[in-house]
Amino acid sequence: MRQLAAIALLFLLALPSQAANIQVRLIRASNDSGKAETCLADIHGKLKEKFGYKFYQQLGVRQQPLKMGEKLQLDLGEKFQVFVTPKSSDKRQQELELEWYSGKTLLVRSIVKIVENGHLFVKGPEVANDWIVLAVSVRN
């Protein structure tokens, strides 16, 4: 009986209650070995699988807590900005409106549903032999 009560208590305590954070990274995909960075080790495999380049350089990164209905402005450098507006959320999934700007030009606008530890990659402009990629993820 006590064990059952303990299981029930653990079950209730396991319910998530933390605020989610959004992390946005500006990445340059390249075959130039000088652009390899260890800070992208967590997504390097996924980037390589999706875009094929061998090396990835992080040009900028921003992380902020999400607040329902509040539009976040994330400056990533190189005049790139990302605006994020949480539309809805539940325990595991966030619905976000994303706007990726270069200067005053809106490159792409999207509504995505993203889960904790999921990733959204946006392939952007091409610079020399490289690509500019935006990586968006949600963490608790």
Partner 1 sequence: MKQHNTERLSALADGELKGINRWLARRHVRHCPQCATEFARIERVRETLAACPPVVEMSDSADFFWSKIRREIAAREQETISIPMPRLSLADWLQVNRGILATVTSALVVVAGSLLMLQQPNAAHPGAVMVERVDTVIPNTVATPLKGSESDVAVIWVSGLEWTPDLDQMRECFDNIET
The CB-of-80 to partner 1 minimum distance in angstroms stands at 9
Using CB under 8 A, which of the segments 4-12, 17-25, 29-37, 61-69 binds partner 1?
4-12
8 binds partner 1, rule: CB under 8 A: yes
Count of CB atoms within 10 A of residue 58's CB? 16
The CB-of-62 to partner 1 minimum distance in angstroms stands at 18
Closest CA to 59 of 136, 133, 138: 133
Helix, strand, coil abundance in the chain, percent, nearest 5? 20, 55, 25
Tell which positions 77-136 bind partner 1, by CB under 8 A.
Answer: 78-79, 90-93, 95, 102-115, 117-128, 132
Q: How many residues bind partner 1 (CB under 8 A)?
A: 45
Closest CA to 109 of 86, 69, 133, 82: 82
Count of CB atoms within 10 A of residue 111's CB? 10
Tell which positions 57-76 bind partner 1, by CB under 8 A.
Answer: none
The CB-of-54 to partner 1 minimum distance in angstroms stands at 18
Closest CA to 131 of 24, 25, 35, 28: 28
The CB-of-118 to partner 1 minimum distance in angstroms stands at 4
